[in-house]
Structure 1
Amino acid sequence: MTSGKQWKARVRARMARTGERYAVARAHVLGSTGGDAPVIDAGWTLRGGTDPDTAALANVLAHRGVTGPDGPLTEPLLLVVGGGLGAGYILWEFAHDDGRVVTLGFTHSWQYFDRRLATTLERLGLDATWSRTGGAVAAARALDSTLAAGDPAIVWPDRYHVGYWHLPELLDGHGGHPVVAYAGSGDRVHVDDRTLAPLTVPTDAFDRARARVGSYKNTMLVVRSADAVVPADRLRAAVRDGLQATVDHLAGSSTSFALPAWRKWSRLLVDQRAAKGWPTVFADRRGLLRALAGVWEAVEPAGMDGGHLRALFADGLTQAAAVLDEPALAEQAHRWREIGQRWHLLADTALPDEVPAIARLRELTATVTGAVAEGDAGAAERAAAADELWRLRAEHADASPLDEERLASIRTTMSIHLAAIHQAETSAVASLRAVLGR
């Protein structure tokens, strides 16, 4: 029989190679069909997930007994209802630490922390309470009373202060994604961050994490609807509105927040003259490996944010086809799965694993993410992996393990992939618009 240590190593290796999320890689390695019984902790079922926003909401709705007329409101379907996919590219340059950070957006309204969840709840006609408490003491009390009443809360902790990602201090205050706090236990909070086993955080650390980022300081979302069925006509309208929002958003003209962002990024990767061109910004190679690693982490589902989400959207289209009784929507799903593979090729190009130091970076990143999914049981493993990961990244911060010829080839190939992605997504959006217009 394969030991736990052996199969975990194989799961991590697969995640690093394929970019898959932990649950998917684990199922492949162990031959699971996905029928394993989920873990229940303090009355909360740990179901995992991919996209932080829609996974959190799907898990909360399942806990509160809110369904559609034909069953659960799944994560893929909620992704569709919330506006589906987005596109975004920004290269930030910070003078205070000479930082160069690549930011990518893959969901509708990705630049707003609360908009997708608010829109999803509104379209489904569900009752929810939003609160934002300025003072730390009052915020802690509000969360305590919510959990004591048996209500899970969606909150937005800073990743550095929440602790379990083991990020370096340089990322203090850089924010984070939504998670579900579902129980209190002594001096710890039970947190669901798409985890498959219990994960707890010291209460004082959790309170600091919630208060750290000014733009969403101590924000808390509590769904009040319970044991309810979203009417069929309401669900149909929500799905159709979400799909229309996807089409309208992606087809926009913004070069930062719509499909033209991919075309712009493709050009800037190789543009020798543009101030924001990669040959100019990274002429001294400082921060280049961080940028390339950031691309891999943002694009691949194995990263902290869930990745490009094109495959999840494809699943949502298949489910939307049944809701709307529109088979042509299901026929569109294959387009987005193929586009997802294009994104994987882009990420693979950005961080080529045939280079030993880079292969180790990918493996360590996958180890941290996988160990988060394993909850408290993975604490020691992810701490050790994160320590090595950030030491390795610091070692190569100003001296990439890639030579100039290879870096030029990477930029050129990434540019070609992005141009193809832009064309493929533009075509897919036009096809989806045609289906919706029937």
Structure 2
Amino acid sequence: MARTGERYAVARAHVLGASGGAGPVVDAGWTLRGGTDPDTAALANVLEHRGVTGPDWPLTEPLLLVVGGGLGAGYILWEFAHDDSRVVTLGFTHSWQYFDRRLATTVDRLGLDVAWSRTGGSGAAARALASTLAAGDPAIVWPDRYHVGYWNLPEHLDGHGGHPVVAYAGGGDQVHVDDRTLGPLTVPVAAVDRARARVGSYKNTMLVVRSSDEVVPADRLRAAVRDGLQAMVDHLAGSSTSFALPAWRKWSRLLVDQRAAKGWPTVFADRRGMLRALAGVWEGVEPAGMDGGHLRGLFADGLTQAAAVLEEPALAAEAQRWQEIGQRWHLLAETALPDDVPAIAEIRELTATVTGAVAEGDAGAAERTAAAEQLWRLRAEHADASPLDEERLASIRTAMSAQLAAIHEAETSAVASLRAVLSR
């Protein structure tokens, strides 16, 4: 994972062989299938559990990514005065800046029967989740990563939010949680309740799919897929320099701009926080991080499946473009956090170890705790003194700038080509 940036399940399959070892684990009647993108993996696993399918195929994670609007583009460099931190935020999905919009759009386009709960009070939210689980229904919830505990994050990340996970069973004082895991993962009820209540913008939100043993009609699925693809090309072709393809061009320029207030040479003139920013790029781009990465490969798989749904072979041909773009992103991540520097190689390996141990569930608890403690100690050690000298940092910024310019050009071309296919 540290070397290739792959998601844990993919790297594990390489090691264990094509079968990936034994079949998926079933815990409390719930099958743990893993996944890449938190939103679409959560929904795909819930729909599989509920017996909701397409007319001739399952509603897979790649296909749901397409239905929800596909890919996005986003770059923001935050500067926080209270702790003098500089944080890189990247967005790789449609509507990435809204925590619930993709899932809401996806279930609406598929015509699913769902129930949203947005209870403000912690007590009522806790009772609603407990009642849902007692009825045997899984729930998609949004916990704060620091308070949910199993990511073993440092205190300065308290309240930074998190991604959706599936709570699928309760038992005593524990909640069984699926965060793209392959083994049972349990979290104390009190920690789940506290984590769900922490972030005001999505406080205690819960999504429950009530559809069961249903087949989404072929015409509805075709419309959902086409609408998702159209939304993606319309959005990415927009003019926003934070939420559409121009974001990559802006980031490319700011990496080397000596005069811009938000230029990296200015923001990181003292080199403080530089390693955090570069590690944030690696974690954000590579599937080995917490968020699932750039998702260009997952979208390519979705295009291949969409070609069958829409009976449009040209979509399958477009998939290769996005696979190649995914490789460009991988090379960018490699450039941002080069593993020929021992401290950086260790940071990458520890990050991958934490993600992999989370995927193992409770069985990986000791490993992820130890790895996370070492990871954040090492990152703190280099917070003010990057292991990269100024000459190397300048070289990295220049190389990243050129790579991002090429990515912008490639994605712009790919979006135009996809638009041409859809307009036939």
TM-score range, shorter chain: over 0.9
Matches within 5 A, 1:35-434: 36-434=22-420
Aligned equivalents of 1:424, 1:436: Cα separation in 2: 18
Give, in angstroms, the shift of residue 35 of structure 1.
Answer: 7.6
Whole-Å Cα distance in 2 between the matches of residues 246 and 181 of structure 1?
30
C-alpha distance in 2, partners of 1:58/1:397?
Answer: 39
Deviations 1:262-296 (A, max 9, x none): 00000000000000000000001111100000000
Q: 2:336 is matched by which residue type in structure 1?
A: A
Aligned length: 424
The Cα shift of 1:170 comes to 0.1
User: Aligned partners of 1:265, 1:36: CA distance in 2, in Å?
Assistant: 44
Root mean square deviation of aligned Cα: 0.7
Q: Does 1:28 align with 2:14?
A: yes
2: CA distance, partners of 1:426 / 1:71? 31
CA deviation map 1:12-39 (0-9, x unaligned): xxx0000000000011111123584110
Task: Give the TM-score, by structure 1 length.
Answer: 0.96
Give the whole-Å Cα distance in 1 for the aligned partners of 2:5 and 2:221: 33
Are 2:14 and 2:20, in contact at CA under 8 Å, matched by a contact in 1?
Answer: no
Counterpart code for 2:149: G
Relative distance call for 1:197 and 1:361 in structure 2 (3 A) is: same
Report the alpha carbon displacement of residue 134 of structure 1 after superposing the two structures with TM.
1.4
The 2-side partners of 1:137 and 1:398 are apart by 42
Q: Is the 8 A contact 2:175 2:186 kept in 1?
A: yes
Matched residue of 1:129: which SS? strand
- Structure 1: which 4+ aligned runs deviate by more than 4 Å? none
Q: Which amino acid aligns with 1:309?
A: L
SS at match of 1:201: strand
| In structure 2, distance between residues paired with 1:329 and 1:134 | 43
Letter of the 1:192 counterpart: D
For structure 1, the 5+ residue unaligned runs are 1-14
Q: TM-score, normalised by structure 2?
A: 0.99
**How many percent identity over aligned positions?**
89
1:183 partner SS: strand
- 3-state SS of paired residue (1:16): coil
CA contact (8 A) 2:7 2:36 kept: yes
Deviation at 1:136, TM superposition (A): 1.2
Q: Which amino acid aligns with 1:242?
A: G
Letter in structure 2 aligned against 1:172: D
Q: Is the contact between residue 13 and residue 21 of structure 2 (CA under 8 Å) also seen in structure 1?
A: no
